[in-house]
Amino acid sequence: MTAADTDLDEAVAAEPERADEAELADETSLAEETGPGEEPDRAASEADVAVGQADIAEGQADLAESQVDIAESQAGIAVGQAGIAVGQTGIAEEQVAVAGGQADIAGEQTSIAGEQADAAGNEANTVGEQTVIAGERADIADAEGDLADNEGELAEGEEAEVSERLDEPEFRAALEAMLLIVDAPATVEQLATALDDTEPRVEQALREMSAELSARGSGIDLRYVGDGWRFYTRTEYAPYVERMLLDGSRSKLTRAALETLAVIAYRQPVTRARVSAVRGVNVDGVIRTLVARGLIAESGTDPETNGTQYVTTELFLERIGLASLADLPPLAPLLPGVDLIDEINESLDTDPRYTRLKKPAESEIDLGTED
């Protein structure tokens, strides 16, 4: 350190001492200048100064309290502003919720509008369907009118056909033909209705035909059994009939027997009358032959006609070499027109003459020849 630096430090350190000395000198000079009467004034001035300083201190304290109050007010304002901010946040959230609700309402209104549009479309479709139905009903009404006209014409034609009564030979021939195809004894009412004639005439003709057959010793007997008439073989010729059937069991089946067997195989269970209707000839004798040979057997009665129903047997399957009826070919070579059997059956069901002739009765051994 240089001498100059040392001198400077000493001067700086001595500066306060010199100031204190100057102040002391001032006070000494002031004391010397002040007289004895000036001491109370000085004390009063100092007291005033002290009071002023107290007032200043009190003012400063009041100022401090005011500053504290201001700080508290500012804190309250801050809290209020925070509350306002929270309230504004809640309002914003509510507005968002309201906006969402409005969006949902808009969606629902859109859905309702869509449903109303669908309903309008459905109503339009319903109107279209009703229009179509009305058109179909009109067509049906026209068809019913045409059918009624056709039925009227048909009725007139049938009345014209039966208006002419058959003479006696034709009348009896017609009775014989009907009695040959019935599956059960036919009542006088059924026969009279089919012939469009009176019941007394039919009953009288039947009794005369029965008497004539008995008088000439015919092997055929016309009997009244139960509540109807039917042809039967006479009891005294039963051995010959049985022998014929037994001898026939050892011979080959005829074409008529094969056709009858085919009808039964494809339409079983089936009655004799339906088989006769399909083939167009009487099949009583053929049925007996097939039963005697064990190729077919009785299987209950038809619920509509009470006629005996027939089905094929296991022997039939053995003879033709099949395991079951499901193995039958789709079309029988010996059965012409088998695809028309359903149509024939339906026509038989609606034919009043066949309906009247199929009334049930007790069955006995009946007459028939193998065609």
For the chain, the three-class secondary structure string (H helix, E strand, C coil) is: CCHHHHHHHHHHHHHHHHHHHHHHHHHHHHHHHCCCCHHHHHHHHHHHHHHHHHHHHHHHHHHHHHHHHHHHHHHHHHHHHHHHHHHHHHHHHHHHHHHHHHHHHHHHHHHHHHHHHHHHHHHHHHHHHHHHHHHHHHHHHHHHHHHHHHHHHHHHHHHHHHCCCCCHHHHHHHHHHHHHHCCCCECHHHHHHHHCCCHHHHHHHHHHHHHHHHHCCCCEEEEEECCEEEEEECHHHHHHHHHHHHHHCCCCCCHHHHHHHHHHHHHCCEEHHHHHHHHCCCCHHHHHHHHHCCCEEEEEECCCCCCEEEEECHHHHHHHCCCCHHHCCCCCCCCCCHHHHHHHHHHHHHCHHHHHHCCCCCCCCECCCCC
Greater confidence (160 vs 314) lies with 314
226 and 300 together in one domain: no
| Structural domain includes residue 1 | no
75 and 101 together in one domain: yes
| Structural domain includes residue 225 | yes
Q: Which of 100, 124, 141 delimits the end of a domain?
A: 141
Q: Which of 219, 243, 267 delimits the end of a domain?
A: 243
Q: Which of 243, 266, 281 delimits the end of a domain?
A: 243
| Structural domain includes residue 57 | yes
| Structural domain includes residue 155 | no
Q: How confident is the model at residue 311 (pLDDT cuts 50, 70, 90)?
A: very high
Whether the CB-CB separation of 223 and 232 falls below 8 Å is answered with: yes
186 and 265 together in one domain: no
Q: How confident is the model at residue 260 (pLDDT cuts 50, 70, 90)?
A: very high
Check residue 219 and give its pLDDT: 92
In this model, does residue 40 exceed pLDDT 70? Answer: no
Task: Give which of 266, 49, 277 is closest to 178, Cα–Cα.
Answer: 277
227 and 263 together in one domain: no
Q: How many domains does the chain have?
A: 3
Greater confidence (252 vs 173) lies with 173
266 and 197 together in one domain: no
In this model, does residue 313 exceed pLDDT 80? Answer: yes
279 and 301 together in one domain: yes
Residue 301's domain comprises 254-338
Whole-number Å distance between alpha carbons of 310 and 295: 10
pLDDT tens track for 46-56: 888 888 888 89
CATH number of the domain that 314 lies in? 1.10.10.10
268 and 199 together in one domain: no
| Structural domain includes residue 15 | no
| Structural domain includes residue 356 | no
237 and 260 together in one domain: no
Average pLDDT, the chain: 76
| Structural domain includes residue 72 | yes
Provide the token pair at 76. 């309250």
| Structural domain includes residue 358 | no
pTM: 0.33
- C-alpha separations of 17 from 3, 8, 167 in Å: 22, 15, 183
296 and 334 together in one domain: yes
pLDDT tens track for 89-104: 878 788 887 777 787 8
In this model, does residue 189 exceed pLDDT 80? Answer: yes
